[in-house]
Chains A and B, each alone.
Chain A
Amino acid sequence: KQEVTQIPAALSVPEGENLVLNCSFTDSAIYNLQWFRQDPGKGLTSLLLIQSSQREQTSGRLNASLDKSSGRSTLYIAASQPGDSATYLCAVKVIWYNNNDMRFGAGTRLTVKP
């Protein structure tokens, strides 16, 4: 069974710091991996999606990498800002289960202090 883990559960950094969020998964047979942002009391917003054949994706200050063989993905946030404070979730789309089954991690709650 595919399990997705995000460590740490919470992270607090000063404004301007570069940071890395981690996501690990137990089964490398994934179709893609997606990073989401969730603000308190709100739905999820997709940040980046990496197909299994890709190694990384970039959007602005965000860079996501994927290493299928080791079952790991990282989300790099450059020059963090207080507006980046939110919970970040990763999700993998599995191959061996039904086509539309995505498995989510529990998320990392990020606080960027001014």
Chain B
Amino acid sequence: NAGVTQTPKFQVLKTGQSMTLQCAQDMNHNSMYWYRQDPGMGLRLIYYSASEGTTDKGEVPNGYNVSRLNKREFSLRLESAAPSQTSVYFCASSERGDRGTSSTDTQYFGPGTRLTVL
């Protein structure tokens, strides 16, 4: 049981390049999330997927797209990277994304992807 895995761990891009961050969970969770973490700002939600086949914008969606490929996988794509997207990106999952119980609301995080855009 690996929990939430993310690839790659590190990435350096030039401005204008594109890339996809991969995330997978093996806990049979319904909901998955993408966050970015910047120094001194805490985590901010980019996109989430409440269940397979659905995605919704979070607090900072501009410049990103997502795909919920199946129940296990949720990818984040940067179409044209900008220096402002330099950050650490975290994927998370929870058993149930809507108003559930303490156990179903608890989010489990991956180890993160450190992205630098030059």
Contacts and interface: CB of A to CB of B under 8 A. Distances in A.
A43 B111 contact: yes
B110 A106 contact: no
A38 B112 CA distance: 11
Contact of B105 (A44, A93, A101): A93
Contact of B48 (A49, A89, A100, A106): A100
Contacts of A32: 102, 105
Contacts of A98: 56, 58
B97 A104 contact: no
Contact of B43 (A46, A91, A100): A91
Contact of B44 (A34, A46, A104): A104
B87 interface: no
Contact of A106 (B41, B56, B101): B41
A99 B44 contact: no
Interface in A30-68: 31-32, 34, 36, 41-46, 49-51, 57
Nearest to B4: A43
A100 B99 contact: no
